[in-house]
Structure 1
C-alpha cells in the first residue's frame, strides 16, 4: 500500500518497474494496462493537488481477475479458446464502478480455467507460486489476484467467489478476502461459472480496504468502517464435519482464536449445521450446482472432444451436461429451501466461525501429476468455504497469527448482513494482530 503522501504515479511506477523486471517470467498477471494506469494515476494525483477526491479507492492500485470484461479485448477467463471470442463493447459493471471511484487498474490476473478449480493450477499458463513461498500452490480460482495483493503489485485485488475462490487463495497467501451476499454486486460483464453461486469480492491486507472496495463494487455510499465490539457477540461454532481433519497447526491456531474471542467477551455457542450440509450433499448426488450450471454455460464447445481445455474442467462438465434440466431446476429449488432453513438456524447467532481451510498450502509439485492427491487437496480447500456459497451467506477470511504457513479464520454471516460482518471482522482483525 502506498503511503498517503506518496504520489500515486510514483507508487504505480514502482510496481510497473518490478513487473517489467520479471516480464519474461511473469506468472501473476496475464495482461497489464500500463498506459491507461498511468493516465488514471496522473488524474488521481491531480485531484489530490486540487483537494478533490472520488472516495477511499481514489488512487488505489487495483488488479482485476481475468474474467471481467474490459472494452476492446476478449475476456479469456483463464482459457485459450476464448482468444477469438467477441470483444465486449463495455466494461463489466464492477470495472466501471472501480474506474468511477478513481481506482488505478494495473492489470488482469491469472486464474484457473473458467474459475472451475480451487488449487490454482491452469495448464495453459505457468502457476503463480504462493506469495509466501513460490513452491507452494496459490489457491484458486482467484490465484493471481491473491498473489498480486500479497506481493504488493497492487493495493487491492478483485476476484470472484463461487465456492471459495476469493477466500481460499486469500487464506493461503495471508490476506483478508471477502465474499459478499451474492445479490449485492452485479455480475454483468463477469464471465460466469455458476450464476446461482457466483459472487464478486476483494482481497487485500486489511478489512478496511476490503470494506472500501466492497462498497464501491456494490454501488453503496462510501462510509468509514466502524469496528463493532466483540463483547456480547454470540458466535456459533459448527462443531462436526467442518472441524474434522484439520492440520495440527491449524487446529491449534483455531482453538487459540476461539480463546481470544472468549477473552474479548464473545459468547461461543454450539451451532450444528451438519444435517443441512448432508441434505444438500444428498441433493447434489446428481452433480454439484457449479458443475451443472457451468455445463450449460459451456455447452457450445463441450461436444468438441479435442477442445484445448483443462481436462479437470472438460471431463466434469461433459458428464454434467447429460443431467436433465428438470433435475437441475429441482436441485435449485431444494437449495433455496435449505438456504432458508440455514438462515433460520443461524438466527440464534450473530455469526459463525470456522477455519477457512483445514490445511495450508501444499507444494505445487505434490499436486501437478498426482491426480488423487490433487483431488484430496481440492476437496479440503473447498470444504468449509463452499458452505457460504451453497447456502447464500456472506463470509470473510482473516489471517490467523503464529502459523508456519498462512491460513485463515473465517467469519460467516447470514444473507444480507455484510456490513455488520465487516464491522465485526475489523474488531477481530485488531484482536488477532495483537497476538
Structure 2
C-alpha cells in the first residue's frame, strides 16, 4: 500500500523522517536505470527539489508547517507553466517557444503550500488521447504486468506512474475526458476530477476550454481532498464518511459496460455487491443521455473544435512535427461551423439539465472508469485501427462526466494481485464535497475486497 499524505505528514511531524530523505528517495527512484523514471518525466528539478526539501525541514524544525503536503514530493504534468521552462505538453513542436514567464496558478499554489516539485511528467502529446502513448518521449509502463508492457493510461501517463512507483506522493494531471481518472484506474490509484470551474486553468496549456479540469492522483480519497483544497484555493474540509445505509447509487443500465473485459465486470460486480451488503441502495437506472452522447459528438465535439482553434496555425506550419494520431483528431475540428458549435452549446445545456434531474434521488453514479484493463503498448503502437478503437473505448465512460460538467472519483476496486480496475463515483457540478464524502465511505468498503 502506498503511504498517504496524512501518514507522511505525521512521520515528518514526529521526526521519523525528513523532507530531504523523502525527496532523495523519490529522485533515486526517478533515476533508477531499471525503473520508469526516464519515460515518466520530461524534466526533473533535482537541485530545486532538494533545496525546497531543506527549506521545509528548516521551517518544520521551527514549528512551522505550511500545509499537510509541506515537504512532500509532488509531480506536475508537462502542460503546466513553470517559470523559466518551456511548456512542451508532450510535444516537440513547442521546443523553440519562449519559456514561461511565471508559474501556472496551481503550480504556485503547490509551492506556497510547501510542496516539493520534483519534476514535470510525460503525457500524450497535447493531452489528446486516453492511452498515454507518446512517440517523442516514450511511454511509461503501467505498474501492473511490466513484463508485457501495458499502457499507463492517458493523457496524464507519467503522472500515474510517478505516484505508483514512489517517484512522487501526489501527481497533478488534467482531465478533459478522463485523463486523471484513466491513469488512476490503470495504475491502481485514486484520482479526482473536480468540477472544472473550481480550479484555475491559468498557465495550463488547453485542450478543450469547455471540458478541461485539473485534479490530483494519489493514494486515497483523503489525499485527493487535501490536494483539491490547495489547487482550488478553498479552505480544507475533511471528508466525512456517511453510513453505507444512507447511500443511494445509480448504475447506468446501458453503454457503460458495453465491450467490457471479464476482469472489469467481475471487479465491478464485487464492488456493487459489497456496497449492497453494507446497506447501500444500488439501482439500475436508464440514462438515455449516455446513449445520445456519441451522436451528439459525431462531428468531434468541443475537444476537436476547441483544439483546432488553438492549434490551427501551428499545424499549418509544422504538421510534420505532430504525432499523426493526434494531428488527425485535431483537424476534425476545422469542419465544425460556428453554427454547429453554438448548437452544441445549447444541446449540452439541455443534456446537463436532463441528467441532473434524473440523478436527483441518488447520491452518485457508479460505473467502471474503463471497461477494459490496460492493454499492451506494442499492439497499439503498431496498429492505427487498434489505437483508435481502444482509445474510444477507454475514453467513453469518463468523457460522459466531462460533458456533464460533473465531478468524479476513480477508486481501485480490484483484488490485490489482479489487473487494476477503477470504480467511478460521479455527481453533478459543484457536488465535489459530497462526492468526496461518498468516496470515503466507498473506499472503506472496497478495501475489504482488495485485501480478500
After TM superposition, the score normalised by the length of structure 1 is 0.96
Deviation at 1:336, TM superposition (A): 1.9
Mapped contact 1:343–1:415 kept (Cα < 8 A): no
Residue number in structure 2 paired with 1:280: 293
* Aligned ranges 1:151-162 → 2 under 5 Å: 151-162=165-176
Deviation at 1:36, TM superposition (A): 1.3
Secondary structure of the 1:132 match is coil
Residue number in structure 2 paired with 1:233: 247
Deviations 1:292-347 (A, max 9, x none): 11111111122236430011111222232132222112212211221122111111
Secondary structure of the 1:285 match is coil
Deviations 1:172-222 (A, max 9, x none): 010001100111101000000000000000001111111100110011112
Secondary structure of the 2:272 match is helix
* Aligned ranges 1:128-167 → 2 under 5 Å: 128-134=140-146, 135-167=149-181
What is the aligned counterpart of 2:212 among 195, 198, 201?
198
What is the aligned counterpart of 1:414 among 428, 431, 446?
428
Q: Is 1:303 the equivalent of 2:321?
A: no
Secondary structure of the 2:192 match is strand
Q: Is 1:180 the equivalent of 2:194?
A: yes
Give the alignment's Cα RMSD to 1 decimal: 1.6
Matches of 1:434 and 1:283, distance apart in 2: 40
Secondary structure of the 2:317 match is coil
Matches of 1:20 and 1:146, distance apart in 2: 17
Secondary structure of the 2:102 match is coil
Mapped contact 2:30–2:36 kept (Cα < 8 A): no
Moved more, 190-199 or 247-256: 247-256
Moved more, 1-10 or 376-385: 1-10
Residue number in structure 2 paired with 1:77: 89
What is the aligned counterpart of 1:370 among 363, 370, 383?
383
Deviations 1:266-289 (A, max 9, x none): 11122221x212333333222222
What is the aligned counterpart of 2:112 among 100, 120, 140?
100
Mapped contact 1:175–1:399 kept (Cα < 8 A): yes
Matches of 2:166 and 2:250, distance apart in 1: 34
Residues 8 and 114 from structure 1, CA distance in 2 versus in 1: closer, same or farther, beyond 3 angstroms?
same
Secondary structure of the 1:303 match is helix
Moved more, 294-303 or 169-178: 294-303
Matches of 1:24 and 1:269, distance apart in 2: 41
**Structure 1 residues not aligned, in runs of 5+:** none
Residue number in structure 2 paired with 1:221: 235
Matches of 1:369 and 1:288, distance apart in 2: 27
After TM superposition, the score normalised by the length of structure 2 is 0.93
Aligned length: 434
Secondary structure of the 1:241 match is coil
What is the aligned counterpart of 2:103 among 91, 113, 128?
91
Mapped contact 2:29–2:165 kept (Cα < 8 A): no
Residues 324 and 95 from structure 1, CA distance in 2 versus in 1: closer, same or farther, beyond 3 angstroms?
same
Matches of 2:275 and 2:291, distance apart in 1: 29
Moved more, 168-177 or 336-345: 336-345
Q: Is 1:335 the equivalent of 2:353?
A: no
Residue number in structure 2 paired with 1:14: 25
Matches of 1:78 and 1:246, distance apart in 2: 30
Residue number in structure 2 paired with 1:61: 73
